Structure formats: C-alpha cells, structure tokens
Amino acid sequence: MESSFDKNALFANLNDIFLDLLPESLSWMAYLGTGLTIILIMVNAVLMLTAFGTYMERRVLGRFQTRLGPNRVGPFGLLQPLADLLKLITKEDLRPESADKITFFLAPVLMVTSMLVVVAVVPFGKDSFLADLNIGVLYLVGIPTIATVSMFLGGWGSGNRFALLGAARAVAMLISYEVPMIVSLAGILILAGSMSLVDVVQAQQIPFILLQPIAFFVFLVSASAEMNRSPFDLMEAESELTAGFHTEFSGMRFGLLQLAEFGEVVVTSAILATLFLRGWENPFIPADWQQVLPPQLWLIGKMLFFMLIFTWIRATLPRMRIDQVMAFAWKVLFPLALINMFVTAALVVAWPDPTYTQLWIMVGVNWAVAIGCLTGYTLSRGRHRQKPTESVRLVQIPAEVN
C-alpha cells in the first residue's frame, strides 16, 4: 500500500502530520484522515471553481452579446452563484406522481458523483494529486460514462415524454461521441507510452496541442458533445423538448444537475489542460523555462483558458440537428481520429525514441496531415466548384397538365 504513494509528496506530508497528531494505537486512522483531507480539498476546489465558472461563463457570455451579465450581487456580481444556490435551495422540491422514486432520486446524485470522481486522477502538480493510476486515461474516459446512465435514469424515471426523448437523444449522442474521443486519445498514449496522467504530462516536451492537432480538435469537439453544450445541446433543446431529461426536476435536484453540467466544463478543461497543454507545467515551448507560477496555479490558469474557449464556442455556434450530429461523429470525427492514430503510430515506429528535432519534424508531419485532411474533405464535398444556381433545375411542365 505504501509503495503506490511513494512519489505523492502531498500525501506523505499530510500523513506525517496526522501521524504526529494521533496516538500510536490509532496510526491506521492517519491513512484514512489523509485521504479524506485530500478528497475534501479536491472536491471543494472543483466546486468553488464550478461556482466561479458559472459566474465567469455568464459574464463572458454577456460580453459576447454586448451586454453586461450579472453584476448586482456583491462586488462585480461575484456572489451571484451563492444567490442562485440560495434560490434553488428554498424552492419546492417537486416529484411528479408518475415518476419512479428510486431513479428520480438517483439521477442527480449519480451525475454529480461521476463528475467529481473524475478529478481524482488529474494531477495538480508533480507531487500533488489524489491518485496516480497507471490506467488514468482509461479512468478518464470510463467514469464520465456514468453520467450517460444517470441521464437515462433521470429521463426515464421522470415519467415525462419530453424527458424520455431528451434522454434517448443524449444516450445516442454520447455513445457515438465516446468512440472518436477514445480513438483520438490513442495518439497521445502512443506518444507518451503510458496511461498515467503524470507520465503523460512529463512526456510533453512539446505540448501535445502542437504535436497532435487532429487529436486536439477531435477531443475538443467530442468533449463539448459529452458535456451537452452548444452546438451539441440538442438533448435539452428548449424549442423542441422543453428542457430534455431534466424537465421534471426542480429545487436542489435541478441545482445538482446544473452543478454537474457546469462542473463537467471545469473537469473537462482540467483534462484538456493535462493532456494537451502540459498540465501543471508552463505551456511555453522551451520546456526548461523557469517556473513562474506554482504548478497548481498553472493548471487552474489553463483550465480557465479552456473554459473561456468553451464559452466562446457556446456564444457562437447554433444548435445542430440530430442527424447532423450523428453524421459528424461517424463520418468526420471517427475517420479523423483513426488517421491521426495511424500517422502517430507510424511516426513512433520510425523514431521510437525521438530527439527534440525529430519531435519538431513530427509536429510538421502532423500539421501537414491535418491540413491535408481539411483540404481532402473540402474537395470531397465539392463545395468550391458548385455554384448555387447549378443546383436549380428547370422542370418542363407537360402540356397536358395545363
């Protein structure tokens, strides 16, 4: 048990403190206390970041639409998340007559849990993390899938046809987008040679956002589909389905669902920063740059950057149709991810232990492949040749009709 926490300095230090405090006979409690303390810190950090994320998202979204956003509660409206929370807590908690008691209760809880549990493997620094799993990336793609189950539980348990339709859409979409997401991660794993997130961060001599542009694009798109955010928010399309699977939820249950939705943005930003932007280290190109900030702040800064990008996407893109969403997953993202995986694999076979120069050649090849894919896709669509008038055909009306 001790060996897996050897390199976790955060754990070791806290464990020492607890061992000093506790009598000899209760030393087993030090282990428990340390784990619970780190969990407490992590969960609270994520929840605070989520609260700040909702505030930031609303302010920035307001500025994207040339308005101000919430600015009344507290200085600059910073207490707005607290006001929202108070409002949601004081609201009546309704459960429809036709709802299934167990699933209706379980859905929000499962959703928030699956969101929070993911953070366990995200390293906040070289020696500060909750757990350094040797299958960290598998954990990352596996655990958020519970959210899909909870969505279906909520939609089905509500006893509402809108909720069921939204849940069905969500499940169809999320399962489709799991595939390109996982395949896009394969390229990174090939380069890093390990599934542990700490190793993935330390393997990034050049940030993977440069080395794996296609994987980044595919992962960004699939992640925003996984989070059910615009332009993939058709499971809660207001104009068609009232609110999707959380139509019947009210009060703090609804609050939990919203928390999970915004929390997933924070968590996904953390994952993106870890996998593609060198996690806790500085994101600049000379890797031996002086550390300007503490590693935790670097990670949080990168998370805020990705949260801003997700807000930007939400402010711009309109909602897609369900057939477009499915076609995009299977016809565009999945082949792209496959191409990326094969190209990366070929490069790694060519240079099993790449030097710095060879890494830069890899960057060049990968970007060339990305641009080639874009051009090829454009040519295959034939948009550049077709003029709008050519698609209009004159139809000769037979004389006997008149």
Binding site for other proteins (CB under 8 A): 60, 62-68, 312-313, 315-317, 374-375, 377-378, 381, 383-384
Distance CA 367, CA 245 (A): 40
The C-alpha angle with vertex 76 and arms to 63 and 67, in degrees rounded to 5, equals 20
Closer CB to other proteins, 315 or 361, in the complex? 315
Closer CB to other proteins, 101 or 383, in the complex? 383
Distance CA 27, CA 20 (A): 9
Closer CB to other proteins, 311 or 344, in the complex? 311
Q: What are phi and psi of 353, to 5 degrees?
A: -125, 80
Distance CA 354, CA 57 (A): 40
Q: How far is the CB of 276 from other proteins (least distance, A)?
A: 19
Distance CA 390, CA 379 (A): 17
The token pair that represents 234 in the structure block: 């058709």
Closer CB to other proteins, 324 or 375, in the complex? 375
Q: How far is the CB of 369 from other proteins (least distance, A)?
A: 15
Cα–Cα distances in angstroms (integers) from residue 402 to residues 338, 393, 399, in the given order: 56, 20, 6
Distance CA 292, CA 43 (A): 26
Q: How far is the CB of 374 from other proteins (least distance, A)?
A: 6
Q: How far is the CB of 315 from other proteins (least distance, A)?
A: 5
Q: How far is the CB of 55 from other proteins (least distance, A)?
A: 16
Whether the Cβ atoms of residue 306 and residue 273 lie closer than 8 Å to each other? yes
Distance CA 301, CA 285 (A): 17
Closer CB to other proteins, 71 or 202, in the complex? 71
Angle between helices 251-276 and 145-157 (to 10 degrees): 160
CA atoms 123, 128, 129, 131: torsion sign: positive
Q: How far is the CB of 91 from other proteins (least distance, A)?
A: 22
Closer CB to other proteins, 62 or 301, in the complex? 62
Q: How far is the CB of 61 from other proteins (least distance, A)?
A: 10
Closer CB to other proteins, 66 or 389, in the complex? 66
